[in-house]
Amino acid sequence: MNYLSMITLSCLFFANLQAATKISISGNDQMQFSVKEFEVKAGEQIELEFKNEGTLPKIAMGHNIVILKQGVSAIAFGGKALQAGANATNALPDSVKSDVIAYSQLLGPGETEIVKFKAPVKPGIHQFVCTFPGHYAMMRGVMVVK
């Protein structure tokens, strides 16, 4: 392979690299997400920065963000997680993760996590929720895949 061919291949390689779409969402002590809806392109890489902006202790007001597969209701999933044993130290039991696209750990006040995932390739609506016990009634939103 000659020098020109190597440069051409390198350019093609780097042209196909996609920068991840960055989304920032926070949760607070009023059990609210800062964002109720966001859009992503089908199949793109996502970097979701999630932060607990509250001040109450994690054991009382921890937050996570759980993005659900298409067709899974946040309310139904929250109830399912509780039935599976979700609690203040493990808000997302392993037995319910088959309904999940991506999730953060349970965060305490001031903590931040970057969740990296690939958006589904099929357009649609995906609900997201906080599964800390009881929060799913108020902490919900949607990810729209275009």
Q: What is the per-residue pLDDT for 1?
A: 58
| Domains in the chain: ranges and CATH | 19-145 (2.60.40.420)
CB 102, CB 48: distance < 8 Å: yes
- Phi and psi at residue 135, in whole multiples of 5°? -70, -25
A 10 A CB-CB count for 34 gives: 13
- Phi and psi at residue 8, in whole multiples of 5°? -60, -45
Higher pLDDT among residues 15 and 96, named by residue: 96
Instruction: Report the candidate in 47, 75, 41, 67 with the shortest Cα–Cα distance to residue 127.
Output: 67
Asked whether residue 18 carries a pLDDT value surpassing 80, the answer given is no
**Structure confidence by residue, pLDDT tens digits, 31-70:** 999 999 999 999 999 999 999 999 999 999 999 999 999 9
**Structure confidence by residue, pLDDT tens digits, 90-107:** 999 999 999 999 999 999
Q: What is the per-residue pLDDT for 17?
A: 57
pTM tops 0.75: yes
- Which 8-state DSSP code applies to residue 106? P
